[in-house]
Amino acid sequence: MKELLSEYEYKTHYVTLDSLEVAYVKEGNHEQTLLFVHGLSSNADAWSKNIQELKDKYTCIGLDLPGFGKSSIVETQYTSTFFAEVVHQFILKLKLENVILVGHSMGGQASVKLAVNHPEAISKLVLVAPAGIERFSEAEANLMKGAMTEAVVKGATDAQIERNYALNFFQQPKEVDKMIVDRKRIRDAADFDMHCKAIVSSVWGMLDDPVFEDLKRIEQPVLVIFGNNDKLIPNGYLHPQLTTQAVAQTAQEELKQAEVKMINDSGHFVQFEKPMEVNAFISQFVETP
C-alpha cells in the first residue's frame, strides 16, 4: 500500500520492531519530544501542519500505526492495548526521552492505554478529539460492529469516501484533497484487503478494549482539545442528546490533572483544520511546569 501513497510532507524513516516495519517522520532536534499518534484510517502526515511550526521548539515525531500509512499490515487484533504497546516499543527502540504523547481520536484512546500501562515512558499527555471518553453499551457496540464490516470499507464509492472526509471538518481545508486522492488510489494496492481488515479490527478494538476506567488512573498532566463542531464525537446516531462539550466535561471530571480547550468553528480533525490554535495550546501546555 505504501507505494501508492503520496510523499509525506516530511522525509519518511523506518524502524523495525520485532517483525513490524514502522514508518515515521522526524523533524527538529530539541530537548523535549512531541510524539504524534494519528487516528483511524490516517497516518503521520495528519500532523504535518503541527510539525511545521512545533519543530522549531521541539523534536517532532509522527509514526504510522501498524495497518495504516506506510507501516506493516499484520494479522492481529488491533486493540487500544496493541497500539499502545507498539508505540511503547517505538519509544524504547528510538531511546526517546522527555516524551509528550499527542494522540488524535483512536490514537488518543491508545495514548491513554500507554499512559496507564507505561507511565514512566511519557511526561505529559495531549488528547486531541480522543476516542474512549464517550461510552457505549454492549448493545450499542454490537450495532456499531454490525455497521463496520470489511465489505462496507472495501465497497466505499468515491462519493462515500469524500463524504466520510467531509464529516471530519467544519470547513474542509483544500489540503484534504491529497488525503482523498490517496484513499481512492490505495484501492488498487495488493494489500488493500488486509488494510480494510485492519480498519474494521481497529473499530472493534476500540469497543472491546475501552479506556474510560483508565482515565482516573492517569497521573500525568493532560491537555484535552476538541473542536466545538465535532460531528464524530459524540456519535450522533446513538447519542443524539449528547454534546461534544459534555464529552469534554466528562474528561475534565475523570482525569486528575486535566486542562480542556474547545476550539470554535472546527470539527473532529481539529489539528488539521485549526493548526495554529492547536499548536499554541500544545506549546503553552508543554511550557507550563
Q: Give yes or no for residue 46 having a pLDDT over 90.
A: yes
Res 109: pLDDT: 99
* pLDDT at res. 289: 87
Averaged pLDDT for residues 59-66: 99
Query: From CA 195, how far away is CA 198, in angstroms rounded?
Result: 5
Domain count, the chain: 1
- Average pLDDT, integer, range 209-220: 98
3-class secondary structure, 139? helix
Cell of 71: 507501516
User: Packing angle between helix 192-208 and helix 80-93, nearest 10 degrees?
Assistant: 110
Confidence band, pLDDT 50/70/90 cuts, at residue 38 = very high
Q: Which domain holds residue 107?
A: 2-287
Beta bridge partners of 15: 22
In whole angstroms, give the CA distance from residue 36 to residue 44.
7
- Report yes or no: 216 and 57 within 8 Å, Cβ to Cβ: no
CATH number at residue 234: 3.40.50.1820
3-class DSSP state of 94: coil
Q: What is the mean pLDDT of residues 273-277?
A: 99
